[in-house]
Structure 1
Amino acid sequence: MNSQERKVVALTCLAHGLTHVYMLIFPAVLPLMLQEFSGGIFRLSLVGNLAYFTYGLGALPAGIIADRVGSRRLIAVGLLGVALASLAIGLSPTLTALSLAMFLFGTFASFYHPSGLAWVSKGVRTQGRALGYHGMAGNVGLAFSPFIAGAIAASYGWRGAYLLFALPGIALGLVVLFSGRAHAPAEAEAHSNPSEAKLIGAMAIPPTLILVYAIATLGGFIYRGSLTFLPTYLTEKVTINVLGIEGTTLGGLITTIALLIGMMGQYAGGRLAERFRPEIVWALLMALLTPLLFLLGRLANAPLIAVTMGFILTYFCSQPVGNVLVARFTPSRSRGLGYGISFLFTFGVGSFATGFSGYIAERYGLNRIFYTLGGIALLALTIALILTWVSARAEGEHEGDGVA
């Protein structure tokens, strides 16, 4: 990489990590928000769902806008917008104002992924290495957000967490906005290479890809439903004192450690998908994920911490396997569209898990969330087994045609 490309990677990595930090503030501070707003956990979870739904829904239009106005500009607007929305959340006097601020928060956050990935792919020649760094940065943001946000909230309240986190968004947004001249040559160089152009056309969706999208949607539901309430659940169920840390801060710390372990899961999942049939690997991971979710609903203290680590490791191991399958069943000219649809289903449709899980928690208790998600994982396992059979049959027919 030359100096311009390194700057593109550095800025997108920072923006990617910060975007994931923003999206996990809510679950980390939810216990403190419940003390201020009436209406219970279900009502507040619906408010949080506004941010998560627009975060997924906005990805497709954001990709279209990025192609027209430029990725860098849209990233800058997104960072500045989500920072201002974070300020609005911290200053919200009523639940109605909080809901509007959450809606804007998710909308601006949705700008990042399609524009960030486009900037990396167009502005850096060594795309594989750059996208690897980019993914790791996102996981770092996921891992440290619950602990940092929980620690800030424990000292300054949940409003303080949102107000303080607005500062890095404003700073990074301005840096990206005024970095145009430094990165224009690299981006132009990538644009000028016709051999790397990606033509997006109509895509006939094969049955195998439909099954992949179905599993990805259920996986997104599990992801959002579990991570939104996991810090709160750990705060309630882990009553032991760990190194003098307890309560909300401890719940955030456990989640942070688990998400760091999840980074190893992503690496392992990618290697497994290379060595074995990814459909079989995905089915095996769903088979492991199902009992882990049921165990999460039954355990407490040290056993719960151990199972939490196993659950996060297994879930993140499944993510690269699903991404490999999207690439496998999508034509190269429609690869971006294929991943865009996958992101919409995973985080857009999956966002409904926040309100759904909040309803389950309020009516039946927090532990029932994980029983419910275990049932959803069982459904994902069933579809994964069908995918394995359909894919093997399709390959057999293709080989038969080749022999004939």
Structure 2
Amino acid sequence: MSALGTNNEMAAMPPISRARTLWTACAAHALHDGYTDLIYLLLPIWQAEFAIGYGALAFLRALAAASMAGLQVPAGRIAERIGGRTTLAMGTALAALGYMVAGYSTGLAGLCVALVVIGCGLSTQHPIASAAVSRAYQDDARGPLGTYNFAGDVGKAAIPSGASLLLVVMTWHHMLWALAALGLIVAVAVAIFLPANLRSLSKAAKAGPHGSGTRGGFGLLLAIGILDSSVRMGFLTFLPFLLKEQGASLSVVGQALALVFIGGAAGKFACGWLGARFGLLATVRLTEAGTAVAILTVLVLPLAPTLLVLPLLGVMLNGTSSVLYGTVPDLAPSGRTEQAFAIFYTGTIGAGATAPILFGILGDAVGAHGALLATAITAAVILPLAIALMKRI
């Protein structure tokens, strides 16, 4: 099939198939992100159940995170061979199986095996579901990708909170089995509802406009994504310490973080559509400049005004990511969309894991205020990179 024929076939996808693709991807994203954050709820339960120390708990969390981050690229390659629908359905079922194994675990060894299995399953979602939405909507994908990203935040809130409610009426073992059943239902839904024709472009298409000329542009996009993720995680690491210095109690710190997360969810949803309307450069300028200014603002304000600023800061802090995700298909080297998303997510997830360590070392040297100032400077550094990226598009 020619490249033109492939593009025409996908462009002719009826609206109902586009919507089905989007909502199936949203369901998968909500489940997978909820599964990811569910681990935070389980750690204190496992500590009490199995008398595990903090070091072992950190190791457990790292096992899942490392498996998920390290297998993004292999998951993209598997999707290119057997299709995104099959890979995502199998990955979702594998993550559910991991939680089922965790429910049967009686010690640290069993939990280690379960978390590796969970991480392997979770690695399939980001590159494949993102690519499915981008292929379904083509040039109009930025807004739908914002909706897709917003669904992940819904899952982060819904699944851990739902799990905490289930713990009122059942043991944690039964709670995990119930959530594993939910995962199997979503896996079946992916296998049924995600269109089967959203595979990688043909070899002829890969030799087309998305050739080697986009490689430099994709590298810049990846660098922006890494810095953006670093700013977000670095800021969230030091925000509680700043609030405590301003006189906040632990309950107020929790409320403040909730305000940031609510704003962040709104930012992911809104900025994807803003990027589609006003373009990459204008939206990134707004969000990154707004992030830098908002961070500097909370550094000088007292507690009460800081709390008022935090939702807007959350919008700016998370909004850039939706715009960047929407640009990945445009710059995918050789048109390999799944691989491009896999590399992009590997970089941003890895940056989110390492940035708190680097900013923490800096914080030991210059204090929390100095570390937060460094996150604002990092956000400002993204602006010239975005301008350079626009010259490549």
TM-score computed with the length of structure 1 as normaliser:
0.69
Query: Cα distance, 1:385 vs. partner?
Result: 4.5
Q: What is the aligned partner in structure 2 of residue 347 from structure 1? A: 349
CA contact (8 A) 1:142 1:259 kept: no
CA contact (8 A) 1:56 1:347 kept: yes
C-alpha distance after superposition, 1:293-316 (max 9, x if no partner)? 868xx998x777655534422212
Q: What is the aligned partner in structure 2 of residue 244 from structure 1? A: none
CA contact (8 A) 1:82 1:104 kept: yes
Q: What is the aligned partner in structure 1 of residue 53 from structure 2? A: 39
C-alpha distance after superposition, 1:27-50 (max 9, x if no partner)? 34445455454422x542332122
Q: What is the aligned partner in structure 1 of residue 322 from structure 2? A: 320
Measure, in 1, the Cα distance between the counterparts of 2:105 and 2:239. 25
Q: What is the aligned partner in structure 1 of residue 31 from structure 2? A: 18
**What is the SS of the residue equivalent to 1:24?**
helix
Name the aligned partner's letter for residue 380 of structure 1: T
CA RMSD of aligned residues (A): 4.9
Q: What is the aligned partner in structure 1 of residue 293 from structure 2? A: 288
Is structure 2 residue 372 aligned with structure 1 residue 374? yes
Name the aligned partner's letter for residue 279 of structure 2: E
Measure, in 2, the Cα distance between the counterparts of 1:21 and 1:148. 10
CA contact (8 A) 2:80 2:199 kept: no
Aligned pair in 2 of structure 1 residues 259, 283: CA closer, same or farther (>3 Å)? Answer: closer
Measure, in 2, the Cα distance between the counterparts of 1:109 and 1:122. 21
Q: What is the aligned partner in structure 1 of residue 223 from structure 2? A: 214
Out of 270, 275, 279, which is 1:274 matched to?
A: 279
Alignment of 1:1-400 (within 5 A): 1=14, 5-36=18-49, 37-40=51-54, 43-121=56-134, 128=141, 131=145, 133-153=147-167, 161-177=175-191, 179=192, 187-188=196-197, 197-199=205-207, 202=212, 205-206=215-216, 210-223=219-232, 257-267=262-272, 270=275, 274=279, 277-278=282-283, 280-288=285-293, 290-291=295-296, 306=308, 308-323=310-325, 333=335, 337-352=339-354, 356=357, 374=372, 377-378=375-376, 380-381=378-379, 383-387=381-385
C-alpha distance after superposition, 1:305-349 (max 9, x if no partner)? 655534422212221343466567666746654443221100134
Q: Tell me which moved more, 317-326 or 17-26.
A: 317-326
C-alpha distance after superposition, 1:6-32 (max 9, x if no partner)? 444433221122111111112344454
**What is the SS of the residue equivalent to 2:279?**
helix
- Runs of 5+ consecutive residues of structure 1 not aligned to the other structure: 242-246, 399-404
Paired positions, count: 371
CA contact (8 A) 1:218 1:350 kept: no
Measure, in 2, the Cα distance between the counterparts of 1:21 and 1:261. 17
TM-score computed with the length of structure 2 as normaliser:
0.70
Percent identity, aligned pairs only, is 23
Query: Cα distance, 1:85 vs. partner?
Result: 0.7
Query: Cα distance, 1:108 vs. partner?
Result: 0.7
Query: Cα distance, 1:83 vs. partner?
Result: 0.6
CA contact (8 A) 1:147 1:252 kept: no
Measure, in 2, the Cα distance between the counterparts of 1:59 and 1:310. 31
Measure, in 2, the Cα distance between the counterparts of 1:93 and 1:251. 37
C-alpha distance after superposition, 1:248-292 (max 9, x if no partner)? 9x8997676455444455357536852864553354034136447
